[in-house]
Amino acid sequence: MKALHRFLPWIMLAFAIVYAGSRLVSTDLADTEYDLRSFGQIPASSGGRTMPLDSVARNSLLAISARQSVRTRDGEISAIQWYIDLITDPPVTIHRNIFRIDHPDVVSMLGLNEENRIRFSYAEIQPILGEINRQAILADQTKAKARDPFQREVLTLYRRVMKFTNLSQLAEPYLVPPLTVSQEWRPLNSVLMSNPSDQDGLSLLYIFEAYSDKNPALFNSAVQEHTELVKHHLASEARKARFEVVFNNAQPFYSASVLYILAFLVGCFGLLVSQLSKPGWSTTLYRSMLAFIAVAFVVQTIGIASRMYLQGRPPVTNLYSSAVFIGWISVMLGVFVDRRTKLGLGGIMASVIGFGTLVIAHNLGGSGDTMEMMQAVLDSNFWLATHVIVVTIGYSATFLAGFLAIAYLMLGIFTPIFDRERGASLSKMIYGVICFALIMSFIGTVLGGIWADQSWGRFWGWDPKENGAAMIVFMNLLILHARWGGMIQDRGVAVLAVGGNIITAWSWFGTNMLGVGLHAYGFTESGIFWLAMFVLSQLILIAIGLLPKKLWRSKFARAPRPKPLPDPAISV
């Protein structure tokens, strides 16, 4: 039994490493005669940046179908397989169900009366393309905030059909590379129409013709020839394209999210075991949880570093990357404070935030490319590496304090786990994280004002995002001053820290959903419902936290406070 106590964390660590390693070397391409791996590594220009065809196919399919693969009668095929089939075998691909339609009224336009299906083929949509175009024009003439769900869904379907059409007609992406200084990336269809004998376009045309003719040897040869041509003229772009394909196949953030779930389950089991008077097992499980978190953190770090290399930017450039980075920082802070208190709750909450933010990032990436070209005002690596990073660290710390506060309230109210020592230790942890959050939020907000002065000629303009940043600072100040002034004790700090989750979520997401202001860079309608649900959940938690202490189950809440010592002079 002692040997198991000693080696279980190492066994868990080895398991996590093997799982992560297997994902890093995995690929979603089946071995075939056609070298689709090399084909997917061919660079192209799409959305203002150079990316491999593998990313073009994945992002396009994600935008059209909300999936990165296609289910067919013969099984599941990869995005790059779907992409080349789309160009070389249209009669087959137009019958594949890839267009996701969620609104029942839009589905009824197809005349199919389908209730159990949300994906449809281009062949099914084609007869009503005129009606879709008409409805899209009407919806586009309506202000964005006034559009009903039907109009939003019609516009989404219209954009998906346009992307499908442009891909099939080789209008996008721009496949023909710039082989001289004076050239730019060009779409293959315009190159072939303007000059059918253009060698730059013909090398690509040979690839598609060989695949269409079912000639794998000629296909592989044409791919290799074009790859060597691009390597010679665009070595850096070709190198990054190959790396991005590896990154796409590895999916490090998915692997990290799975490991965070395992860490959370092991940590909760360890917390339960600690109440059974088995400190040895609880310590073993606590170390096993840290093993999972450590591997997940390393994998997530690899993912963030890979995105930085591919973009040539600091880690936070849009809402997607901010979600990934907030989780990464929260995990780092959670493990650090947990090592100081030895409660295990820091690791448990760190794994919750790590998993939650990666899920948020996954849903934010559902519209396509997550490394899209940034708006001009954000094109500053210095300020992205200072203001944005520091503010995001402030978000992370405030969220961590809020989730630790949730643990304080839930465990204190519903379980007998806490004694006075554990409750005080967790409260100190929350207090320390709030102090750190205040410092980072304040510095980040001031740096943002300096950047705004350089970009827009004013330090402060009461923009929604600026107001949100100030609210985070004031919320953390409120908690600290209320505690210093004796107006609240440990429970009050926890309740207000949960309120900090609402303020931070508003500053992070809510201000973008207003659709106004100079900082509205990441508007997403689908997030409004989930933001409202998150705010509602935090309000419910606050209400629960305000229950009278006599209703709390934990000993530290129900036990009477020690009486003050008598005055020595009186006792004498």
Give the DSSP letter string of 79-132: HHHHHHHHHH-HHHHTTS--EE---HHHHHHTT---SS--EE-HHHHGGGHHHH
User: What's 386's DSSP letter?
Assistant: I
Q: What is the per-residue pLDDT across 80-127, written as a single tens digit (0 to 9) for each?
A: 999 999 999 999 999 999 999 988 888 888 777 666 788 899 999 998
Query: Given pLDDT bands bounded at 50, 70 and 90, which one contains residue 344?
Result: confident
**What is the reported pLDDT for 167?**
93
Residue 134 CA to residue 175 CA, distance in Å, equals 31
Residue 160 CA to residue 60 CA, distance in Å, equals 9
**What is the reported pLDDT for 571?**
39
**What is the reported pLDDT for 414?**
84
**In the predicted structure, residue 512 carries a pLDDT above the cut 70:** no
Residue 44 CA to residue 174 CA, distance in Å, equals 6
**What is the reported pLDDT for 562?**
47
**What is the reported pLDDT for 54?**
94
| For range 42-56, the mean pLDDT | 91
| For range 127-150, the mean pLDDT | 87
Q: Which residues contact 335 (CB under 8 A, 6 or more apart)?
A: 290, 293, 294, 297, 346, 347, 350
Query: Given pLDDT bands bounded at 50, 70 and 90, which one contains residue 191?
Result: confident
What single letter denotes the amino acid at residue 35? D
Q: Which two tokens stand for residue 87?
A: 């160009």
On the 0-12 / 13-18 / 19+ scale of CB atoms within 10 A, 566 is exposed
**In the predicted structure, residue 568 carries a pLDDT above the cut 60:** no
Residue 32 CA to residue 137 CA, distance in Å, equals 44
Helices (H), ranges, 342-419? 345-364, 381-383, 389-414
Among the residue ranges 79-83, 312-316, 368-372, the one predicted with the least confidence is 368-372
Cβ–Cβ under 8 Å, residues 106 and 100: no
User: What's 142's DSSP letter?
Assistant: S
User: What's 342's DSSP letter?
Assistant: -
* b/e map 414-450, b = 16+ CB within 10 Å: eeebbeeebbebbbebbbbbbebbbbbbbbbbebbbe
* b/e map 534-553, b = 16+ CB within 10 Å: beeebeebbebbeeeeeebe
Q: Which residues contact 326 (CB under 8 A, 6 or more apart)?
A: 353, 357, 392, 395, 396, 399, 508
**What is the reported pLDDT for 34?**
86
Q: Which of 19-33, 279-293, 464-478 has the highest mean pLDDT?
A: 464-478
**What is the reported pLDDT for 98?**
92
Among the residue ranges 121-130, 221-230, 315-324, 563-572, the one predicted with the least confidence is 563-572
User: What's 119's DSSP letter?
Assistant: E
Residue 308 CA to residue 419 CA, distance in Å, equals 45
Q: Is 212 helix (H, G, I), strand (E, B) or coil?
A: helix
User: What's 344's DSSP letter?
Assistant: S
**In the predicted structure, residue 322 carries a pLDDT above the cut 90:** no
**What is the reported pLDDT for 116?**
77
Q: Which two tokens stand for residue 159?
A: 């954009």
**What is the reported pLDDT for 347?**
86
**What is the reported pLDDT for 74?**
76
**What is the reported pLDDT for 6?**
72
What single letter denotes the amino acid at residue 161? V
Which residue from 42, 368, 372 is spatially nearest to 237, judged by alpha carbons? 42
Calculate the alpha carbon distances from 299 to 104, 315, 539 in Å.
40, 15, 34
Residue 391 CA to residue 359 CA, distance in Å, equals 21
Which residue from 422, 401, 308 is spatially nearest to 350, judged by alpha carbons? 401
Query: Given pLDDT bands bounded at 50, 70 and 90, which one contains residue 317?
Result: confident
Averaged pLDDT score across all residues of the chain: 84
| For range 248-261, the mean pLDDT | 92
Residue 430 CA to residue 479 CA, distance in Å, equals 11
Q: What is the per-residue pLDDT across 150-164, written as a single tens digit (0 to 9) for each?
A: 888 999 999 999 999
User: What's 343's DSSP letter?
Assistant: -
| For range 514-531, the mean pLDDT | 61
Q: Which residues contact 85 (CB under 8 A, 6 or more apart)?
A: 77, 92, 93
Cβ–Cβ under 8 Å, residues 207 and 226: yes
Instruction: State the helix-helix crossing angle for 345-364 and 279-311, rounded to 10 degrees.
Output: 30
Q: What global pTM score does this model have? A: 0.86
Calculate the alpha carbon distances from 3 to 12, 74, 105, 284 in Å.
14, 49, 63, 11
Cβ–Cβ under 8 Å, residues 187 and 172: yes
Would you give the distance in Å from CA 231 to the centre of its chain?
32
Helices (H), ranges, 213-344? 216-233, 235-250, 252-273, 279-311, 319-341
**What is the reported pLDDT for 39?**
93
Would you give the distance in Å from CA 171 to the centre of its chain?
30
Respond yes or no on whether the N-terminal peptide bond of residue 216 is cis (omega within 30° of 0): no
**In the predicted structure, residue 557 carries a pLDDT above the cut 60:** no
**In the predicted structure, residue 415 carries a pLDDT above the cut 50:** yes
H helix or E strand, kind and range, residue 76: strand 75-78
On the 0-12 / 13-18 / 19+ scale of CB atoms within 10 A, 38 is middle
Cβ–Cβ under 8 Å, residues 121 and 96: yes
**What is the reported pLDDT for 516?**
56
Would you give the distance in Å from CA 304 to the centre of its chain?
11
